[in-house]
Amino acid sequence: MSDSSFSKRIWTVLKISFPAAMYNLLGMVQSLVDMLFVGRISSLSVAAVGVSMQYVGMLYAFMSLFYVGTNALVSRFFGAKEPEKAGLVSYNMFVLALGFSVPLFIMGYFKSHVLFHILGMSAEIEAIGSVYMKIYSFSIPILFAQGVLYSSLNAYGKTKIPFYIGIFGNIVNFLLDYALIFGAWGFPALGVAGVAYATVIARILEFFIYAYLCFIRKEIDFVMRFSGDLLRRALKVGFPTWMERMMTFPTYIVLSALVARYGTEALAGYQIGLRIEGIAFMPGVGFIVATMALTGRHLGAGEPEEAEKDAMAATVAACAFMGAVGLMMFLFPVPLARMFTTDAPTVESAAEYLRIMGLSQIPLGIFFVMSGALRGAGDTRTTFIVNTACIWLLRVLPAAVMVWMGIALFWVYLVAALESAVRAGLLVRVFLRGKWKSIAV
């Protein structure tokens, strides 16, 4: 492969991945802004909204059932120059996602108090959180429908559209947070309810823009006809990813509980470290989106070797970006932690986590690209098995044993970093075998 050809491939990857990464970063910024505003109300409000986010996290796990299958099939049909089938997949998954969201909306609206009971929250937190969830629940159908439109646009490589819509939504959410929480500009002061209303209104306005662009402007060429076969095929691809998210989501709670055994400062530092690392993940998320789209497109066009070359180019780019991020985490962990707290023990605890996890960013970059390539090819079963087994057996289980034995937290974090490298290595091995090139979806 010539240098110019390789550079063009990297540029193609970056054109798709950068807007996708920024879109996901905007989602994190919106959540952070919400929590900063809520923090000015009361500590009880922070706890209530924080617990509510556990349910929201589960919603995103369910959304993966539709997102991955839609992306894999639409990109495959786009590459095969079969726009009618691509439009059928988008429309059928859009309708199914809307229908699937209804019981989740009902649960969020009528049964949100159950979550607070399970987690042993106080009556005050339950009361505040239930108000938030009742209002937030109205955004759930929009969240699911919008997710299919988002994944379809990504499959076509049109990642700039969701990015621009995300900027608009963040601005609306910020202004409404300020207006509805504190009663500015003649609006009523609604407190925590204002945060929820701001989110719902911003999502509705975003959805109207998505709907206009996708249904009127035809950014997605929908074919409004039922296709049970394509639905089945898309869900078959998405189901393992949904299972993966559902089985790995609890690990964050379990690991937090284990770290809490080392003290309040350790737990606070760990949470801050996770927040910073989550921001650092955004380039990686962009590479997942780009590699999924390009892999599906090339396989649809009957060009598996081109898919492999693009994945290799994406790996180089991901290692460069994630390596730079990891270097910042390793060299400047204290200033990064001080952006979130001034408590010295908490800062030191967060810095310890960031130094160690900074070493794992290059393996994570490789992992992101390999998982994106395999998912784009429709091989979601392999990523499900590798991710779930590694996280539970090589990260959570050793952490539990080390906590039980009283081993220093440093080693818990080091094992987590090594697990990321093992996971990346396993997916590289699967990718190089090449079986994904012949998977039918």
DSSP string, 196-265: HHHHHHHHHHHHHHHHIIIIIS-SS----S--HHHHHHHHHHHHHHHHHHHHHHHHHHHHHHHHHTT-HH
* Structure tokens given for 245: 């998210």
Q: Is the pLDDT of residue 5 over 90?
A: no
Residue entry with tokens 């049964």: 111
**pLDDT exceeds cutoff 80 at 43:** no
How far apart are alpha carbons 101 and 91 in whole angstroms?
16
CB-based contact 159:20 (threshold 8 Å): yes
Q: Confidence band (pLDDT; 50, 70, 90) for 139?
A: very high
Confidence of residue 125 (pLDDT cuts 50, 70, 90): confident
Give, in order, the Cα–Cα distances in Å from 146 to each of 127, 273, 363, 412. 30, 30, 32, 38
Instruction: Give the pLDDT of residue 4.
Output: 66
What is the average pLDDT value for the chain, to the nearest integer? Answer: 92
What pLDDT does residue 59 have?
87
Instruction: Give dist(CA 279, CA 260) in Å, integer.
Output: 23
* pLDDT digits 0-9 by tens, 343-383: 888 889 999 999 999 999 999 999 999 999 999 999 999 99
121 falls in which pLDDT band (50, 70, 90)?
confident
Give the burial class of 334: count Cβ atoms within 10 A of its Cβ; 0-12 exposed, 13-18 middle, 19 or more buried. Answer: middle
The better pLDDT of the pair 243, 117 is held by: 243
Mean pLDDT is lowest, of 75-89, 173-187, 261-275, 298-312, for 261-275
Q: How far apart are CA 27 and CA 162, in angstroms?
A: 11
Q: Which of 30, 58, 64 is nearest to 115 (CA)?
A: 58
* Pick from 47-51, 125-129, 150-154: least confident: 47-51
Q: Which residues contact 338 (CB under 8 A, 6 or more apart)?
A: 347
pLDDT value of position 2: 60
pLDDT value at 34 more than 60: yes
- Distance (Å, rounded) from C-alpha 58 to C-alpha 35? 19
pLDDT-derived band at 249 (thresholds 50, 70, 90) equals: confident
Overall average pLDDT of the 131-138 stretch: 94
pTM score of the predicted model: 0.90
Query: What pLDDT shows up at residue 3?
Result: 63
Tell me the average pLDDT across 256-278.
87
Quick one: pLDDT at residue 122? 79
Q: Could you tell me the CA-to-CA distances from 289 to 32, 66, 143, 364 in Å, in that order? A: 23, 14, 18, 15
- Asked whether the predicted pLDDT for residue 118 surpasses 80, the reply is no
SS3 1: coil
Q: What share of the chain is helix, strand, coil (3-state, %, to 5)?
A: 85, 0, 15
Q: What value does the mean pLDDT take over residues 52-81? A: 90
What per-residue confidence (pLDDT) applies to 1? 56
pLDDT band at 270 (very low <50, low <70, confident <90, very high): confident
pLDDT score at 436 = 96
* CB-based burial label for 251 (10 Å; 0-12, 13-18, 19+): middle
Q: How far apart are CA 149 and CA 364, in angstroms?
A: 27
Per-residue pLDDT reduced to its tens digit, 199-224? 999 999 999 999 999 999 999 989 99
